Amino acid sequence: MKKIILIIAAIAMAMSLNSCQDKKTESPRAKYIFLMIGDGMGASHVAVAESYLSAKAGKIGGEQLTMTQFPYYGTCTTHCLDKTITCSAASGTAIASGQKTLYSRLGCDADFNRLESMAFPLKEEGYKIGIMSSVPITHATPAAFYASTPDRGDGYGIMKQIPDSGFDFFGGSGFEDMFGKDGQQLGADKYLEQHGYEVCFGPEEFLAAADTCERIVFCQQKSKAEDAKAYVSEEADAEDITLAEMLQLAIDYLGDEEPFFIMCEGGDIDWESHSSYTMPMIEKVISFDNAIAVAYEFYKAHPEETLIVVTADHETGGVAIGQGESWSNTFIDWIKIEEEWEKNKEKYLQDSKANREFNEASHIGWTTSYHTGGAVPVYSIGKGAEKFMGRIDNADIKGKILGK
């Protein structure tokens, strides 16, 4: 009898051990998730930036950004329900909610029903949530992760949805429509402060408040300007921090005790690409990649528990290495191109014809001042990263991140 009891006890112990192990291996997703979205960043943007970096290192090719060193690579189709060429609102919504919608719809379907971003179920499960961008927090891509509106241009209305999300960290260059479209509303910072958020302008204010507040919004210093236009930061000025520094603030703020989900957007890659500004575009891709390097450093400290996915909402500009009379034996002399840009930058920024000629002389082609319909790259590393290999669609990303 004793023997039988011992055997039963041993079996029960083995079973409970097994179920513990099962539970451990069952966990469907990474504890720390970074979704990095380069707005408008196609494979050619990456190729142009790497060609430039190689030239700076005295080579024709071979230098790599951090993102292209990740072990898994795929491509992602971006079309929306009614158009081959999508926009940030529709594609951001597809990425965030897993459902395609009509062009220009933000966080809602064709009938204006709310589509739920992946950040909400993650929040429910105890993940801390950080949403950030190099452009305004209320711009389409970050907004797709917390807002739902029939009018993507209603920056003030989008801002008012921040408190409804209850998300922990927001970061960006500032707000669109700081005082509403009519300029008569309560300042966005005041509104958010009345609804439970600490709003900080610049890193000093942020660091002073970070220890004592539960929810925080970081804005660049220059966005404090009362001028209703000045808060939209197109280019970082001396007082602004980089996207990489902003991501580090978010990581430090969220901490590593609880799980977190961070969506970090390089939003200005798109903006420079709409204007066919080759050198500023390269600078913004590198700046976005520097933020990816911050996520990668975090991954190296938590390799078993971290997932980093890098992709884009669509391609902008149809940029290519080579255009017009370029031949296959053309050498792109980035050292000379950069010197010329630095010398006559003001002219090229103001005169689109001069900029076109500059691009032509540089053998860099731009086919459009809008978006294109090509697939965008996906680079990933970490827990579950292999799911992003091969050909995927933007509406697949939510399911793959949630591990369903």
Q: Which residues bind Zn ion (CB under 5 A)?
A: 270
Q: State the nearest-atom distance from the C-beta of 127 to Zn ion, in Å.
A: 29
Nearest residue to the partner Zn ion, using Cβ:
270
Nearer to Zn ion, 75 or 141 (CB): 141
Residue 379 tokens read as 């680079």
Q: State the nearest-atom distance from the C-beta of 273 to Zn ion, in Å.
A: 7
Q: State the nearest-atom distance from the C-beta of 340 to Zn ion, in Å.
A: 27
Residue 133 tokens read as 């961008």
340 vs 266: CA distance, rounded Å: 26
Nearer to Zn ion, 87 or 199 (CB): 87
393 vs 100: CA distance, rounded Å: 10
Look at residue 395 and give its three-state secondary structure.
helix
Q: State the nearest-atom distance from the C-beta of 39 to Zn ion, in Å.
A: 7
Longest CA pairwise span in the chain (Å): 95
Nearer to Zn ion, 270 or 283 (CB): 270
Q: State the nearest-atom distance from the C-beta of 89 to Zn ion, in Å.
A: 10
Phi, psi of 391 (to 5 degrees): -95, 120
Nearer to Zn ion, 270 or 289 (CB): 270
| Nearest partner of 146 among 170, 125, 124, 128, judged by Cα | 170
Nearer to Zn ion, 82 or 256 (CB): 82
Tell me which residue has tokens 């023997």. 3
Nearer to Zn ion, 176 or 270 (CB): 270
DSSP for 10-73, please give it. Answer: HHHHHHHHHHHHHHHHH--S-SEEEEEEETT--HHHHHHHHHHHHHHTTSSS----SGGGSSEE
The C-alpha angle 274, 148, 242, rounded to 5 degrees, equals 45
